[in-house]
């Protein structure tokens, strides 16, 4: 069992103020694999004081100095890449092949992207007789979730470091091992004491403490919309900047000119990836009514072909959900869907055959769904797809936009120009046409209750910068 009870504060691993331990579970085996400490306000205050002191010098470092530090961090990350993949696989159940190819790659990708942006970013520009300067906002509170753990850590920490900010990271207590390892990498790379600090703890205590703290200048939060609202309210009294990347219920519009076999099959695969635990997963498949039953049959076949397996096994399969609480939530929403009249065409309640231990769920597809059902409105965060028929293009767009969320949308069509036209009518921060990839340099974020601000690449710098006008 790994002992991760110490916090990283002011360049040192230090003991917490209290001895309130929390066990970390492997969701595939339900065995305890590590122990962390639950931080207190005293721990948080120590970290904030260290970051505030460090900001005085770190904010004045040159572009070249910060490039050198980030390059050193990238080199350490590359050297310890397999450790990161294994940590993520153990803490949140990602199959090891997927942890290597996708999960761990996010850390490397965001460090490279921040370096590319930093080399050319216009921190100063002349506007007539005014010099416009973009400078570090200050001490940042970073709150990250468990589903893509190093992704959300790196896409916040990298731009904060690149722009000259100092920070306190509060990772998810469900998946803290990758954060602990990342702190080791920061230390090994040689960042000055106090620039990066790590404190574990519960959201209502440490997360809220970060949002409320008068010496923290901005908070970047990724998680549920409910928790995001709480963070924003807690931050309001100190009028600090709050950047949020929240939930999603992304539509996947299959247009009548697409190849249904291909479009449905890959739509199922996209939904099931990471065991459905992605905020931008295309969980609502919108299908022309004349092709609906054909699409349902294809989806049922595709979902039945999705393999569930253990995280340590190589290959293309999905693992467990991250926790017992998440398993219970997904089961509850499946049960509600059945009671509201949705038709199960694949999966359903319970665990897959052969799995009695671990938080494994059955890849599930629902037909006969309308957009008013609970399963079409709420973010499930599991491998659950709903299929909704539509009459024409206008209705498809209406259904796609009829959601509290606006993180992502997907379009599958035989006519890319048609896809581009429809993309402009969708109220979502990111639209992928025919499976086009979303690169690390592209802005990531959403409309409506999916949050505000943007992360990734040069767009991720903006939340960490203040704008100053110097005249004369």
Cα separation, 240 vs 219, in Å, equals: 7
pLDDT of residue 19: 75
Residues designated as active site: 245, 279
Cα separation, 233 vs 211, in Å, equals: 8
pLDDT of residue 319: 98
pLDDT of residue 18: 82
- Percent of the chain at pLDDT exceeding 90: 99
What domains can you pick out in the chain, each with its CATH number?
2-246+450-471 (3.40.605.10), 251-439 (3.40.309.10)
The string of pLDDT tens digits covering residues 103-121 is: 999 999 999 999 999 999 9
Considering only CA atoms, which of 52, 68, 64, 84 is closest in space to residue 185? 84
With contact defined as beta carbons under 8 Å apart, do 51 and 197 qualify?
yes
In the structure, what pLDDT confidence band is assigned to residue 57 with cuts at 50, 70 and 90?
A: very high
Cα separation, 185 vs 78, in Å, equals: 10
pLDDT of residue 292: 98
Cα separation, 343 vs 386, in Å, equals: 10
pLDDT of residue 37: 97
With contact defined as beta carbons under 8 Å apart, do 202 and 173 qualify?
yes
The string of pLDDT tens digits covering residues 225-254 is: 999 999 999 999 999 999 999 999 999 999
Cα separation, 285 vs 291, in Å, equals: 12
In the structure, what pLDDT confidence band is assigned to residue 433 with cuts at 50, 70 and 90?
A: very high
Average pLDDT over residues 77-102: 98
Q: Report pTM.
A: 0.97
In the structure, what pLDDT confidence band is assigned to residue 263 with cuts at 50, 70 and 90?
A: very high
Alpha helices in 32-120 (DSSP H): 41-58, 63-79, 81-92, 96-98, 104-120
The string of pLDDT tens digits covering residues 138-154 is: 999 999 999 999 999 99
The crossing angle, in degrees rounded to 10, of helices 104-120 and 63-79 is: 160
In the structure, what pLDDT confidence band is assigned to residue 280 with cuts at 50, 70 and 90?
A: very high
Average pLDDT over residues 330-354: 98
Distances (CA, A) of 179 to 104, 160, 240, 449: 12, 16, 25, 27
In the structure, what pLDDT confidence band is assigned to residue 171 with cuts at 50, 70 and 90?
A: very high
Residue for token digits 């002191």? 53
pLDDT of residue 424: 98
Residue for token digits 């693992």? 319
Residue 58 has pLDDT above 80, yes or no: yes
Average pLDDT over residues 453-458: 96
- Mean of per-residue pLDDT scores for the chain: 97
| Beta strand residue intervals within 239-383, DSSP E | 241-245, 251-254, 284-288, 343-346, 364-367
Residue 34 has pLDDT above 90, yes or no: yes
């Amino acid at each position: 069992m790994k002992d991760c009870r110490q916090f990283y504060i002011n360049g040192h691993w230090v003991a917490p103020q209290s001895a309130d331990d929390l066990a970390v579970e492997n969701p595939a085996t339900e065995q305890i694999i590590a122990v962390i400490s639950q931080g207190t306000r005293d721990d948080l205050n120590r970290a904030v004081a260290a970051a505030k002191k460090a900001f005085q010098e770190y904010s004045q470092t040159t572009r070249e100095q910060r490039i050198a530090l980030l390059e050193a961090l990238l080199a350490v990350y590359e050297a310890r890449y397999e450790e990161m993949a294994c940590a993520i696989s153990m803490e949140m159940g990602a199959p090891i092949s997927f942890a290597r190819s996708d999960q761990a790659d996010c850390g490397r990708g965001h460090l490279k992207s921040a370096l590319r942006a930093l080399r050319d970013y216009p921190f100063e520009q002349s506007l007539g007789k005014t010099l416009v300067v973009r400078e570090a906002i200050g001490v940042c509170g970073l709150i990250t979730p468990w589903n893509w753990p190093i992704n959300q850590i790196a896409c916040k920490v990298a731009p904060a470091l690149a722009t000259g900010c100092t920070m306190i990271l509060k990772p998810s207590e469900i998946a803290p091992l990758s954060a602990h390892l990342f702190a080791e990498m920061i230390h090994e790379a040689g960042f000055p004491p106090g620039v990066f600090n790590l404190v574990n703890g519960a959201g209502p205590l440490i997360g809220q403490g970060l949002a409320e703290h008068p010496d923290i200048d901005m908070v970047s939060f990724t998680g549920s919309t409910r928790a995001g609202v709480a963070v924003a309210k807690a931050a309001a009294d100190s009028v600090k900047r709050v950047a949020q990347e929240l939930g999603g219920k992304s539509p996947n519009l299959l247009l009548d000119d697409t190849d249904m076999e291909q479009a449905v099959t890959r739509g199922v695969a996209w939904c099931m990836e990471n065991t459905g635990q992605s905020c931008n997963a295309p969980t609502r498949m919108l299908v022309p009514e004349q092709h609906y039953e054909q699409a349902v049959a294809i989806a049922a076949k595709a979902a039945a072909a999705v393999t569930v397996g253990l995280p340590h096994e190589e290959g293309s399969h999905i693992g467990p959900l991250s926790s017992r609480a998440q398993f219970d939530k997904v089961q509850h929403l499946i049960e509600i869907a059945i009671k509201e009249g949705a038709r199960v065409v694949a999966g359903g309640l319970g665990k897959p055959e052969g799995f009695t231990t671990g938080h494994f769920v059955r890849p599930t597809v629902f037909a006969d769904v309308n957009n008013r059902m609970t399963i079409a409105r709420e973010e499930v965060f599991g491998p659950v797809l709903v299929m909704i028929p539509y009459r024409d293009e206008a209705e498809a767009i209406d259904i796609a936009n009829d959601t509290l969320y606006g993180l992502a949308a997907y379009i599958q069509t035989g006519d890319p120009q048609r896809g581009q036209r429809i993309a402009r009518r969708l109220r979502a921060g990111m639209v992928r046409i025919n499976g086009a990839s979303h690169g690390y340099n592209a802005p990531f974020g959403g409309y409506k209750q999916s949050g505000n601000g943007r992360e990734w690449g040069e767009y991720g710098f903006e939340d960490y910068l203040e704008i100053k006008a110097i005249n004369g």
